Amino acid sequence: MEQVKEQKIVWITGASSGIGLSLTKRYLAAGWRVFASARSQGELTPLLIEHTDLTFLPFDVSKPLQVEALRETLLEHTDHIDCAVLNAGNCEYLDMTEDSPDWNMMDRIMSVNFFGLVNSVDVCLPLLKRSSHPHLVGVSSQAVQAAFTQAEAYGASKAAARYFLSSLRVDLKPFNIDVTCLLPGFVDTPLTQKNTFPMPFLMSADEAAKRMFAAIESRPFEYAFPKRLSAVLWVGRHFPKLWLRLMTPKSE
C-alpha cells in the first residue's frame, strides 16, 4: 500500500515582505504547511486568501512578553514544527559625522536582529524538539565578512546572530536539531531600497529565496551567497589596509 507522506511544517519570521515573503511562496509551492509571522500581514494578505496552508501569526520579535503567547498559539495549530526560518530583521546606518550620533540605534537594531532571533528561538525550540528531523535556520548577512561603512549596529547584530547560531549548533546536536546560518549578499527588498551606495551583485528577493530554499534543504552549517561577493569580502578580510582605503568615506 502506498504510504501517505506527512506534510512538513515551517515557521517563517519576517514573512510580510522581501526575502521572507519570497521564501513563504517557495515553501507553499513545495507543499509545506506555513506559519508566517511579522508585526503586520503586509504583502502576505493576498497569499492568505489563496492558500489554506498558510496561517499568519502576528509577532514582534523584539518583545519577549509575546514569546509565550505565540508559542501557545502555535500549539493550538500544530504539535510540532519541522523547520524554523528566523529571518525578521531591520537595518539602520549610524552616521559618525553627526555631532551626536544616534547611539540608541544600537539598542533598536540589536533588539530586532539579535534579541529578536533569541526570542524566536525561545518560541520554537519546544516545537522543533517534537519533530522527527528538525532544522533551525537563522538569517545573518555577508556584512559580517568584512567591515562596511556605517554598519556598526547592523553588522554587530548580524555577527552576534551568526555566533549565537554557531554555538546553538553545538548545543542542539544532542537533540538532533540541525542549525544553519544564512548569509545573503545584497537583495532588492524594502530594507535595501533606501540604500544610496552601490550594491554589487544585487539580486531579486525571488532569486535569493530560490537559493536559500535549495541550500536549506541540504542543511549546511552556513551558506553565504552570492559567491562573487564572498570573494570580494575575503579579500577585504585578508587585506585590511586595502579594505580600509576602499571603505573610508571620502572627505568633501
Ligand X SMILES: NC(=O)c1ccc[n+]([C@@H]2O[C@H](COP(=O)([O-])OP(=O)(O)OC[C@H]3O[C@@H](n4cnc5c(N)ncnc54)[C@H](OP(=O)(O)O)[C@@H]3O)[C@@H](O)[C@H]2O)c1
Q: Which residues are catalytic?
A: 154
Residue 189 touches ligand X, criterion: CB under 6 A: yes
Residue 190 touches ligand X, criterion: CB under 6 A: yes
Residue 123 touches ligand X, criterion: CB under 6 A: no
Q: Which stretch binds ligand X (CB under 6 A): 15-23, 27-35, 209-217, 232-240?
A: 15-23
- Which position among 16, 66, 131, 145 is part of the footprint of ligand X (CB under 6 A)? 16
- Rounded distance, CA 8 to CA 200, Å? 36
Residues 149 and 244 sit within 8 Å (Cβ to Cβ): no
Cβ distance to ligand X smaller for residue 168 or 191: 191
Torsion of CA 211, 215, 216, 221, to 10 degrees: -130
Q: Which stretch binds ligand X (CB under 6 A): 37-45, 48-56, 94-102, 162-170?
A: 37-45
Q: Which stretch binds ligand X (CB under 6 A): 27-35, 49-57, 67-75, 183-191?
A: 183-191
Q: Which residues of 60-88 are buried (b: 16+ CB within 10 A; e: fewer)?
A: bbbeeebbeebeebbeeeeebbbbbbbbb
Q: Which stretch binds ligand X (CB under 6 A): 68-76, 83-91, 97-105, 215-223?
A: 83-91
Cβ distance to ligand X smaller for residue 78 or 90: 90
Torsion of CA 242, 181, 195, 13, to 10 degrees: -170
- Rounded distance, CA 132 to CA 42, Å? 32
Residue 155 touches ligand X, criterion: CB under 6 A: no
- Which position among 71, 192, 207, 215 is part of the footprint of ligand X (CB under 6 A)? 192
Measured CA angle at 219 (ends 214, 225), to 5 deg: 55
Residue 66 touches ligand X, criterion: CB under 6 A: no
Compute how many other C-beta atoms are within 10 angstroms of the C-beta atom of residue 51: 17
Shortest distance, position 139 Cβ to ligand X, whole Å: 4
Shortest distance, position 112 Cβ to ligand X, whole Å: 5
Residues 150 and 94 sit within 8 Å (Cβ to Cβ): yes
Residue 40 touches ligand X, criterion: CB under 6 A: yes
The percent of the chain in helix, strand and coil, each rounded to the nearest 5, is 50, 15, 35
DSSP state for residue 110 in the 8-state scheme: I
- Which position among 28, 34, 57, 112 is part of the footprint of ligand X (CB under 6 A)? 112
Give the CA count within 13 Å in the CB-facing half-sphere of 199. 18
Cβ distance to ligand X smaller for residue 117 or 172: 117
Cβ distance to ligand X smaller for residue 190 or 220: 190
- Rounded distance, CA 161 to CA 141, Å? 9
Residue 138 touches ligand X, criterion: CB under 6 A: no
- For ligand X, the binding residues (CB under 6 A) are 13-20, 38-40, 42, 59-62, 87-91, 112, 116, 139, 141, 184, 186-187, 189-192
